Amino acid sequence: MTAFKLAVVSAGLSKPSSTRLLADRLAESTVRQLALQGREVEVTVVELRDLAVDIANNFVTGFPAAALREAIEAVTDADALIAVTPIFTASYSGLFKSFFDVIDNDALTGKPVLVAATGGTPRHSLALEHAVRPLFSYLRAVVLPTAVYAATDDWGATGDGRTDGLPRRIDRAAGELAALLAGRSPATPSLPEQVVPFAEQLAALRV
């Protein structure tokens, strides 16, 4: 059975970062829950901090460098996407937004996307709903109902009678993604475009 392709985009700036940690936890839970259904998953992680210069150059030149092109292909060819950003000034980071700005507007149409974010305080949690979710809705992706926000105090917290702890929220969101993927077939790899040399095209015109 063909494995699902899962792309994970992390826009954390530090190394290590809580953003990457949250991205890894979401991916691990998704893989684990799909494995219970007998489905395999190939995970590709895209660290945007390593592509910051390439992304900036792409805006100037209009052409992606090799590493950026591979990252874009990993995201656009994936069956699903986990996108995690730190929250700066009540919104997604500029690096996060810039990466998705260089992707074609139609490339994520219909793709399941699990959105998540990290921040220093719970007060920024609504940024997922007023900034991150609308971004992917505009790109016509299928944004999962549960978005995961992790504040500094959430790490290691178990929650209370009214609030789920971070591990439970991660598993719930990942479970939604796993359930959605389980009802689909993995994408069939597209065949490379056949490029006809100019000399052959010219010869055909002379016949």
Model pTM?
Answer: 0.86
Other beta carbons within 10 Å of 36: 9
Closest by CA to 73, choosing from 82, 61, 64, 86, is 64
**pLDDT of 8 over the 60 cut:** yes
The string of pLDDT tens digits covering residues 51-94 is 999 999 999 999 999 999 999 999 999 999 999 999 998 899 99
pLDDT for position 193: 45
Closest by CA to 177, choosing from 92, 90, 82, 100, is 82
Under a CB-based contact definition with an 8 Å cutoff, are residues 131 and 94 in contact?
no
The string of pLDDT tens digits covering residues 36-48 is 999 999 999 999 9
Alpha helices in 50-152 (DSSP H): 52-61, 66-77, 94-101, 127, 133-138
Q: CA-CA distance, 74 to 122, in Å (whole number)?
A: 32
